[in-house]
């Protein structure tokens, strides 16, 4: 246990798996009380149990951020359980990897979670963070916010929107001592990667062999490597950083 987030309360959306799980566990290790907001109750409770087994404090709140009532509930439960809220990590995402063939329903699902859901929970979290005297919001963009990839139109459009939303939110919330930043990962070895590999019909090793040369570091990332970047932006160490995006992509976009 460390104390970089000692006394802080954080919500991590999509905290049941992948980058969200790694972030929730790391935050707890650094002293935060953590709310896991996710649609997957079984996996979310496993994350809570892992945190508690390590001596941390965490609760799970069943949350579909595309539903306004759920977004409000997650923030209300954080304050009810821990008395206040200081940090929101907007990690929950819908991985709609389609091009122009994406249907209207596909677009609604992608926009509903990645853009509208992020805006909804940020709205309610910001009010609670104001009441706590300030804090931080960290959004999860992607290399897909900046680069073109085949059959990624729906996903990339939402991730590009999050980068601009970060700038606008940073401007609007600065008077209330709330910093807003964005972390933009490259390919990270999560359950989403495994699902993508199955969808395209290749083995994981075949996928990794194709991906590695795209990165200056010749590998893809691990969830905890992204979690450390999120931790930095959420902590007081980043006290003069707002409206920024941080690439955590092993040098992919440096080429």
In angstroms, the CA 227 to CA 182 distance is: 12
Residues paired with residue 87 on neighbouring β-strands, in sequence order: 10, 136
Residues paired with residue 138 on neighbouring β-strands, in sequence order: 89, 181
Does the active-site annotation cover 155?
Answer: yes
Q: Check 155, 215, 228, 252 and give the catalytic one.
A: 155
User: Is-contact 63 90, C-beta < 8 A?
Assistant: no
Cα-trace Rg, the chain: 17
Nearest to 15 by CA among 72, 109, 107, 87: 87
In angstroms, the CA 251 to CA 231 distance is: 20
Which residues make Cβ contacts (< 8 Å) with residue 110, sequence separation at least 6? 94, 96, 102, 154, 155, 157, 158
In angstroms, the CA 142 to CA 95 distance is: 12
Instruction: Report the catalytic residues.
Output: 155
């Amino acid at each position: 246990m460390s104390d970089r987030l000692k006394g802080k309360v954080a919500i991590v959306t999509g905290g049941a798996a992948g980058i969200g799980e790694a972030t929730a566990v790391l935050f707890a290790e650094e002293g935060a009380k953590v709310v896991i907001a996710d649609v997957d109750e079984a996996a979310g409770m496993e994350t809570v149990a892992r945190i508690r087994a390590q001596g941390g404090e965490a609760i799970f709140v069943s949350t579909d951020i595309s539903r306004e009532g759920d977004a409000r509930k997650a923030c209300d439960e954080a304050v009810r359980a821990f008395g206040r809220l200081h940090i929101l990590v907007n990690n929950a995402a819908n991985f709609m990897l389609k091009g122009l063939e994406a249907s209207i329903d596909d677009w609604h699902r992608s926009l509903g979670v990645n853009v509208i859901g992020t805006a909804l929970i940020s709205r309610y979290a910001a009010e609670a963070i104001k009441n706590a005297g300030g804090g931080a919001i960290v959004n999860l963009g992607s290399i897909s916010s900046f680069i073109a990839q085949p059959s990624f139109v729906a996903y990339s459009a939402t991730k590009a929107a999050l980068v601009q939303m970060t700038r606008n939110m940073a401007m609007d919330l600065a008077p209330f001592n709330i910093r807003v930043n964005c972390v933009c990962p490259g390919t990270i070895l999560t359950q989403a990667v495994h699902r993508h590999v199955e969808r395209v019909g290749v083995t994981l090793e075949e996928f990794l062999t194709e991906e590695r040369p795209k990165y200056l570091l010749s590998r893809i990332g691990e969830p905890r490597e992204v979690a450390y970047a999120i931790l930095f932006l959420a902590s007081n160490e980043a006290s003069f950083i707002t409206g920024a995006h941080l690439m955590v992509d092993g040098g992919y976009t440096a080429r």
